[in-house]
Structure 1
């Protein structure tokens, strides 16, 4: 469930207030009253998560309030024991369901947030790994296997007697000949962009398949392949350290830029429809924000060191 921008900003303001040494009991009482609304509780939990704190507001006996508000109102001991049973007795099932995220922790190759790397593979193929990504690579006698657990990659494959098989959470991509394509693992879907060659798709659940050729871009989940679209020219620009915007909406641009930064980066709905054009350096996101603010007459609101949003230049928020 998506959260309203204004509610998220309010949660960030409360976080800043409660982290201040001058926070009073009256502030805490007002925060608890604000937190009572379920949407406010969800926003608060999002801020706590982004802050990276294991124990938000340490020492504050009221900090678990958001989590408590998100639990079912009628939760009882039997439900709690059932949950505990699933976590303990059904551990294997839970592990299997979350296998892809778990594997990303021990993947062969990983990148940190904001990092882009590339490798020359054993067969001469070239692999680029985008920000916050993780892959396994296993070249065997009959197949070349790559598993994308998180994030995005770009592959330039070479012709080989062995097909190249790329696995994501939603299915398998097969390149039988030389090809150049990128794969982005989203939450519940995979996006494939083919710049050269042909890629076959086999869905994880239904077993159905499809073929994507040069110049096409598609998205698919484990059950369905979406209709194809022309590939976005800038979809592979990140491999060269550039975020390319060709008349892109500001909110879409900010969502893409946010992948290269720690913390939260948002965009006020009042300026979301502004258009962005240009090539921006991914190695310096602060410079990108300053350029956007200057060219589009925006204000950079730094609510917290790790909570930044782009807003109208004149605002009362």
Structure 2
């Protein structure tokens, strides 16, 4: 999900996607007339973004077609919140990566594509739509948020975790070898601690819950030690200011989305990691402020709770398509 626009960054705007959903629902209803079909073709040809939106929706509907054949809408919605719902997706994606040999080096140089391929082959992956707990050989415990990926490199003198993407919570086991976490932006050295690392394309966020962590940017510079109860962001070249740690950075491993006066867009971005279907947000309500705690793995319940604290309504033309709009 993008921070603004509230659909993946490569997709057309929210309004165009909603138009595509309306056309799709009409054509799939069995009640479309010749005039309706002519109108759809005219809409499809009017803008490149219309054809792009239609292709996205068509691919998504095919992905969930087996579910729709064998379950009622309530069962589909329940399945969409479970990791098992899309196990085939990862296999299909891996198979598609074989095409890199055809598309060549130019495709591999795209950072998001490269990151996605490497994440699929990672030693540890967060479950799609859920979190995963892993106990490492030394007794260190790691929780991986949905969609996260991590590699492990334990040697005789160093315990090294490589966070490929996403977010992990680390509860460090004490032993002689130092434990470090590497991201694209630098290295974090645990100083007897419990901490969260969230790697995003533009920066890495470190939140320390117990003990302390030393931060060293990838391009050099003076390291900085972050004490318990604090967090900061850093890039490959600089370290940001320290601020109080956000409890939300630890609450997710308990299945709680903790919102402390944050934009609705941030809430939806987090929810999208735990939902297998399409979840989008109208720009008209993206900046509404949200406070409260919400269940990460029960989208229907969370949307109902959100409707009690901000003026929104949801639109669901298909079980796997949820749009959040301004309440009329």
> TM-score by structure 1 length?
0.74
Give the alignment partner of residue 299 of structure 1, picking from 313, 317, 321: 313
SS at match of 2:214: strand
State how far apart, in whole Å, the 1-side matches of 2:304 and 2:64 are.
32
Q: Is the 8 A contact 1:165 1:172 kept in 2?
A: no
Matches within 5 A, 1:231-250: 231-250=245-264
C-alpha deviations, 1:220-245, integer Å up to 9, x for none? 44455444443222211011111111
Greater Cα radius of gyration, structure 1 or 2: 1
Q: Could you say if the C-alpha distance between residues 282 and 54 of structure 1 is closer, same or farther in structure 2, counting changes exceeding 3 Å?
A: closer
Q: CA deviation at 1:276?
A: 2.4
Q: Does 1:40 align with 2:50?
A: yes
Q: What corresponds to 2:144 in structure 1? A: 129
Q: Does 1:151 align with 2:151?
A: no
CA RMSD of aligned residues (A): 3.2
Give the alignment partner of residue 202 of structure 1, picking from 204, 217, 228: 217
C-alpha deviations, 1:101-159, integer Å up to 9, x for none? 22222222223222112223222322111112222223221111112223211112134
SS at match of 2:307: helix
What runs of 5+ residues in structure 1 fail to find an aligned partner?
56-85
Q: CA deviation at 1:202?
A: 2.8
State how far apart, in whole Å, the 2-side matches of 1:96 and 1:143 are.
31
What runs of 5+ residues in structure 2 fail to find an aligned partner?
1-8, 66-99
State how far apart, in whole Å, the 2-side matches of 1:93 and 1:301 are.
36
Q: Which moved more, 1:24-33 or 1:287-296?
A: 24-33
Q: Does 1:166 align with 2:176?
A: no
Q: What corresponds to 2:292 in structure 1? A: 278
C-alpha deviations, 1:67-91, integer Å up to 9, x for none? xxxxxxxxxxxxxxxxxxx955955
Q: Could you say if the C-alpha distance between residues 31 and 227 of structure 1 is closer, same or farther in structure 2, counting changes exceeding 3 Å?
A: farther
Q: Which moved more, 1:176-185 or 1:235-244?
A: 176-185
Q: What corresponds to 1:13 in structure 2? A: 22
Q: Please identify which structure carries the higher helix content.
A: 2
Q: Is the 8 A contact 1:114 1:282 kept in 2?
A: no
Q: Does 1:211 align with 2:221?
A: no
State how far apart, in whole Å, the 2-side matches of 1:103 and 1:305 are.
31
Q: Is the 8 A contact 1:126 1:157 kept in 2?
A: yes
SS at match of 1:40: helix
Q: Could you say if the C-alpha distance between residues 249 and 159 of structure 1 is closer, same or farther in structure 2, counting changes exceeding 3 Å?
A: same
Q: Could you say if the C-alpha distance between residues 257 and 99 of structure 1 is closer, same or farther in structure 2, counting changes exceeding 3 Å?
A: closer
Q: CA deviation at 1:45?
A: 4.6
SS at match of 2:162: strand
State how far apart, in whole Å, the 2-side matches of 1:186 and 1:29 are.
44
Q: What corresponds to 1:309 in structure 2? A: 323
SS at match of 1:261: coil
State how far apart, in whole Å, the 2-side matches of 1:5 and 1:96 are.
25
State how far apart, in whole Å, the 1-side matches of 2:20 and 2:177 are.
53
State how far apart, in whole Å, the 2-side matches of 1:19 and 1:289 are.
26
SS at match of 2:130: coil
Q: What corresponds to 1:253 in structure 2? A: 267
C-alpha deviations, 1:177-229, integer Å up to 9, x for none? 212221223245433223330232332xx345642512443334445544444
Q: Could you say if the C-alpha distance between residues 190 and 18 of structure 1 is closer, same or farther in structure 2, counting changes exceeding 3 Å?
A: farther
Q: What corresponds to 1:112 in structure 2? A: 127
